[in-house]
Amino acid sequence: MAANGTRQTFGPDEVLQAMLTMRGGDSDKKKKAHEYLESFQKSPTAWTTTITILQSNAEADVKLFAATTLRGKITYDLIPQLPASDIPAVRTQLLALLKRFAPGPKPIRVQLCVCLAILAIQMQGWKDVLPVVVSSLGNDVESHACILDFLRVLPEEVTEGRKITLTDEELNQRTTELLEQNAPQVVQLLINYAHSSPEAATNPQLFECITSWLREVPVNQIVKSPLLNLVFIALESDVCFQAAAECISTMVRETREIEDNIETIQVLLPRIISLQPKIQKVIDDEDVECYKSLTRLFGETGCAWAVAIAREPVNFRPLVDAILECAAKDKGRDAIEFTFDFWYDLKQYLALDKYSEARREYLFVFAKLVDILLEHLEYPEPDSGNEKDLFDGDREEEEKFREFRHHMGDTLKDCCEIMGVSECLAKVLDAIKLWMQQYASMATGTSVPHWQKLEAPLFSMRAMGRMVTADEDTVLPQLMPLLVQMPAHEKLRFATIMVLGRYTEWTAAHPDFLSPQFSYIVSSFDTPSKEIVRAAAMAIKYFCTDCKHLLSDQVVQLQQFYDQILDKVPEVSQEEITDGVATVVSVQPPAEIYKLLKLFCDPLIQRLMAKANNATDNDGKLAVADHLQLITLFAQNVIVLPPVERGQEDPAVKYWQEVFPILSKVLENFLDFPPICERVCRCWRFMVISHRGAMAPILPDMANQLAIGFATSKQGCFLWVTGAILREFSDDREHVDQAMTEHIYVFFEAQATNVLRFISELPPQDLPDVTEDFFRLVVDGLLYYPQKFIPSPIFPSVFEAALSVLVLEQREPLSATLHYIRDVLGWGTAYSPSAYDHLSASVAEQLRVVVKQLLLHQGLTLVKRLLAGMMITFPKDCFADASGALLKLFEVFPDETANWVDQTLRLLPPNTVKSIEVDRLMTKIKEKLNTNDTGDVRQIRAILQDFTNTYRRRYIAPRDGLGALEGSRFRFAG
């Protein structure tokens, strides 16, 4: 590696030294070595150095790095860095290297095969690729492995060809030449190879190669060839079982279009059904991987042919039985997941009336599936006998089991749709009754025998909850009394609470069951288990939400319970319980709202003041912020509906007006602590959103606090509330006084001016959060006050600030800024946004003129920022908005925008894009513009996205900046 101040050299010795440094432990040296190797990979010298390394006696990992580098060079640098006359020499060297590495190591051999495939795609004059490769590599056994690798990767690389700098037309032509025209030769090559020796017929590479080409060769050609028999015979060999099973799965996937593949399916179906005896064989052999491959094969076959299974239930029943057997015999739960998609797909068809006969045919299958799932849902019996550690310390296995259960729950829902909910619930009832008959008498306060067999049906009942309607009167009235009598066991109590919380809608329709259930939940807060307490809190939320009218008579007792329990539960549970009780308060008569808010919230306010007075450290301040969330939930949920008449006092707002000074004082005392500022602002924002026009008495004080808050703290949360006020008190809202809207707009403009001053003091990189919040705010200003905002003095400055933000690389602020820019551009089109119908045509035209003048002045800068972002700096999620902005600019100023794009692309470094590529792009754009067809103009978006994507893949942002495309700092003189 070069020393400081000298030019870097990229010889084999320097690269080897950098690789050795990467193995060391010095992070600074590793960072420099990494940067050196990155520079090496982009350098023209890398062509010769990589080949030299590959021809040397270097270690395998160094050679693999060289092969990977060569792959990147051929993908991205072939045309820019090599003259056309040198490219055939690269092919010759690659073929020689492949011959050298034919015996291995396999990773290097595969990388070189990929190199050759990518080269073949780009060498458009190379028409005899297959014969040249086969003849060059020879006919020995080692060369066969190399040829098979090349044949396998060729279709994959061609279909990924958008990474290569060919036009769509050129790529389509090469696809035809390399794949379609070679397909018959490839099939024959594979047949000849398979028959060359017994070892060849069981070589996994053969089946991987067939799998790769199945996407290019019509599946019926393979099915009609000797290869089909070879693939099924290969399932007798342990060596190639998995590769052969995957090959058959791929054949089946290619027959998804049933009508077009009836003949092929008729050939494959009996061959696949004949594999069913292998299920028991691989189980007896304890071959988990083969069992998974076989189950995947049956499951994917079922998915591909689901509609045929529904049409012809008798003919396809053996296939369904095989899938069911795979699910039933999977004692280790290793493979059953491969059947889940099939049961869902089959359910989708059987649920249709036209397949009612098939539904009756498969009722027994789905009934059996429920029994299988109930068994698989059971927690394991711990080998150690320790009930506290069911997975013997294997946390990964425990998490996998939890996730697996939820997937099985989805399949249980599928069964409900076919069998009917009551029938599925009856199986749950039978399982619970069976446990009670066998083990209930043996249960004690400290021991519950075989509790797993009781917990599993409880979990399944919870999983089915979404399918159960409130009018289910057959099974649930028998089940519900049993639930509150579950034995004292932590897992059982947790499962019961989760079930009760899931069925609260049913309970609301059957009030006789409410009291024992609610009492069971309340009593659960006395248990020492944190998991049970969290579950109980969640259940309280659902009971209060769905049974709010039934609990109205107990609202005072509910407050007593709430006050007693609040400090005993964790933060998330506090929020859930608060959310629930606030919902009960919300349905009380308006005349009671003020009194109930005082009853519930005054203790919260007292707690808030106590916490604020004691908040001397970070934890204390966070406790204040968390507690504010509870008050916010009441502001959010307790809304007087229908709204009070204009001129009357809203009882909820009356209460919030009383506590507003306390919230303001808390805010003032903690302006230097963002979490508290954010929670207070969130509370105020929900007050505005929830109570809308009724908030008018509080607005002046609130606006004052927001202005002071931002001026002092420079936190974006104060802009959230400003935006909410803009939305709720805009010009087109009913019952909003005109003078008030004027005051609100003045307040908005003052806030915007403060923000502009602030962001002009710092580069955008230093304040991404404020930037995001600001541009979300001005989006609201443009949406609700366009007739005031667009002609205002700050409008051009806001747009200029937006341009300066486009140098960022963070998704959120960029997304907000791009949305604002697109909204501004919308005002420049012939059709103003439809949301502004309340404006007269003359006013809309005046606004359009202002916007177009701004765009003419800033258009080139905007195009530079957007294209630089799409080519170099924007995260992927922002591409759609950026290209949408460019398209909108083309709609406003088509010719000017084309010129701006041309000028911008000419500023790119000459070694990164050729002039001919820019010329070709501009020709395409101008062709679309000249058609005067809206659809063709929209295609410009795709053209630009393809160009920028190609550029982005080839080049990363230069470390010395963006040169002529570098963004400038925003300066505000207002």
Kindly report, residue by residue over 575-601, the tens digit of the pLDDT.
999 999 999 999 999 999 999 999 999
Grade residue 733 by pLDDT with cuts at 50, 70 and 90: low
Output the CA angle 291-295-296, nearest 5 degrees: 115
Which pLDDT belongs to residue 961? 43
Q: Cα dist. 126→86, 119, 134, 147 in Å?
A: 14, 10, 14, 18
Token pair 């690798």 is found at 149
- Residue 4's pLDDT band (boundaries 50, 70, 90)? very low
Taking residues 385-411, report their average pLDDT: 80
Give the per-residue pLDDT at 79: 77
Q: What is the pLDDT of residue 46?
A: 86
Average pLDDT (790-814) is 92
Query: What would the pLDDT profile of 234-249 be if each residue is shown by its tens digit?
Result: 999 888 999 999 999 9
Q: Are 811 and 878 in contact (CB under 8 A)?
A: yes
> Of 799, 800, 842, 856, which Cα lies nearest the Cα of 824?
799
Would you say 893 and 856 are in contact if contact means Cβ atoms under 8 Å apart?
yes
The conformation of residue 217, written as its DSSP 8-state character, comes to S
- For tokens 């959230």, name the residue: 720
Mean pLDDT of 707-729: 90
Residue 412 has pLDDT above 80, yes or no: yes
Q: Region 84-101: what's the mean pLDDT?
A: 90
Q: Length of the chain, please?
A: 974
Q: How many helices (H) and strands (E) does the chain have?
A: 50, 0
Nearest by Cα to 775 from 871, 878, 636: 878
pLDDT digit string, tens, across residues 198-241:
888 889 999 999 999 998 888 998 999 999 999 999 999 888 99
CB of 226 closer than 8 Å to CB of 189: no
What's the pLDDT at 909? Answer: 78
Give the pLDDT confidence of 450-492 residue by residue, as tens digits: 999 999 999 999 999 999 999 999 999 999 999 999 998 999 9
Q: With contact defined as beta carbons under 8 Å apart, do 492 and 451 qualify?
A: yes
- pLDDT at residue 25 in the model: 74
Which comes out higher in pLDDT, residue 651 or 27? 651
What pLDDT is recorded for position 398? 79
Nearest alpha-carbon partner for 418 in 489, 497, 314, 348: 348
Write down the pLDDT at residue 969: 53
Asked whether the beta carbons of 377 and 456 are under 8 A apart, the reply is: yes
The Cβ-side half-sphere exposure at 575, using a 13 Å CA radius, reads 9
Helices (H), 160-257: 168-175, 183-194, 198-201, 204-213, 219-223, 226-234, 241-253
Per-residue pLDDT band at 934 (split at 50, 70, 90): low
Instruction: Supply the pTM of this predicted model.
Output: 0.81
**What is the pLDDT, as a whole number, of residue 3?**
44
8 Å CB contact between 455 and 374: no
| Confidence band of 836 (pLDDT split at 50, 70, 90) | low
Q: By mean pLDDT, which of 70-74, 301-305, 462-466, 549-553 is the weakest?
A: 70-74
Residues of the chain with pLDDT > 70: what percent? 94
Cα gap 955→82, rounded to integer Å: 16
Task: With a cut of 80, say whether residue 154 has pLDDT above it.
Answer: yes
Which range, of 93-97, 544-548, 653-657, 916-920, averages the lowest pLDDT?
Answer: 916-920
pLDDT score for 963: 47
pLDDT of residue 915: 83
Judge whether residue 29 has pLDDT over 90. no
Question: Would you say 549 and 510 are in contact if contact means Cβ atoms under 8 Å apart?
Answer: no
693 neighbors 686 (Cβ within 8 angstroms): no
pLDDT digits (tens, 9 = 90+) for 120-144: 998 988 999 899 999 888 878 778 8
What was the pLDDT predicted at 492?
Answer: 94
pLDDT at 728: 84
CB 250 within 8 A of CB 293: no
Residue 275 has a pLDDT of: 94
Q: Please spell the DSSP secondary structure of 578-640, one letter per residue.
A: HHHHHHHHHTS-HHHHHHHHHHHHHHHHHHHHHHHHH--SHHHHHHHHHHHHHHHHHHHH---
For the chain, give the mean pLDDT.
88
Q: Are 812 and 768 in contact (CB under 8 A)?
A: yes
Per-residue pLDDT, averaged over 7-28, amounts to 79
| pLDDT of the residue at 966 | 55
Whether the Cβ atoms of residue 631 and residue 690 lie closer than 8 Å to each other: no
Using the predicted structure, report yes or no on whether residue 691 has a pLDDT greater than 60: yes
244 vs 965, more confident:
244
- Token code pair at residue 896: 């000017």
Contact 429, 478 (CB under 8 A): yes
Measured CA to CA in angstroms, residue 305 lies from 328, 383, 830 at distances of 21, 42, 51
Read off φ and ψ for residue 275, nearest 5 degrees: -80, -5
- Read off the pLDDT of residues 326-358 as tens digits, 9 standing for 90 and up: 999 998 888 999 999 999 999 999 999 999 999
pLDDT tops 60 at residue 44 = yes
Q: Which of 265-269, 676-680, 734-738 has the lowest mean pLDDT?
A: 734-738
